[in-house]
A and B are shown apart, each in its own frame.
Chain A
Amino acid sequence: TQLLEQSPQFLSIQEGENLTVYCNSSSVFSSLQWYRQEPGEGPVLLVTVVTGGEVKKLKRLTFQFGDARKDSSLHITAAQPGDTGLYLCAGAKIPSGNTPLVFGKGTRLSVIA
């Protein structure tokens, strides 16, 4: 069974601070997707990383896929209260259009003004 472990589970920081959350596995994934989920809503895609070592930036968010494609990180610079939410990573096992995603439990981020 492929598992994705996310850490930390909870994170509470002050506005303006930087933070990094992690998504780790012992298994290799074809790609990893990061989503953000608000309470009672569906996951909203932030980014997909495909190539080992790949780095993608989305404004103040920087996503990195590990060289071995077993782990990923999300770094937020100068966090704002609007960044508050549940951040989920999800891995695709094989490079196919209909591969199931394996989800982590998420990191719940709270940014305090």
Chain B
Amino acid sequence: EPEVTQTPSHQVTQMGQEVILRCVPISNHLYFYWYRQILGQKVEFLVSFYNNEISEKSEIFDDQFSVERPDGSNFTLKIRSTKLEDSAMYFCASSARTGQETQYFGPGTRLLVL
């Protein structure tokens, strides 16, 4: 069964450093998302991406964040200068065609900023 994959599974970084989180969405899906989950809190939407551009972003997704689909398979989230409060699980998700709202999530990347 197709699934969303994410790398790395864990990332430890120093405050102020740049991190890139990688995702491979399900191959025939067209819509891509990033969510985050701070420990003990609910899953929060960050950004959605379609047709090589951002469709929607939340207040969390400020200028320190960016997304890219560098090739036909990968979808990345970059945090330019990490802050302590960026520590969280980051989940990538994908969904199929318009009108198909079901989103399939990857296993997540646990980011720890020291």
Binding site for B on A (CB under 8 A): 30-31, 33, 35, 40-45, 48, 50, 88, 90, 92, 95-106
Complex contact A97–B96 (CB within 8 A): yes
Binary A-proximity of B89-103 (CB < 8 A = 1, otherwise 0) = 101010111111111
A-B contact number at CB 8 A? 80
Residues of A within 8 Å of B74, CB to CB, are none
Does B68 have its Cβ within 8 Å of any Cβ on chain A? no
Contact A106-B48, Cβ < 8 Å, known A92-B101, A97-B96, A97-B99 = no
Residues of A within 8 Å of B58, CB to CB, are 100
Binding site for A on B (CB under 8 A): 4, 6, 30-31, 33, 35, 41-45, 48-50, 55-56, 58, 89, 91, 93, 95-108, 110
Complex contact B56–A98 (CB within 8 A): yes
Complex contact A41–B45 (CB within 8 A): no
Complex contact B96–A43 (CB within 8 A): no
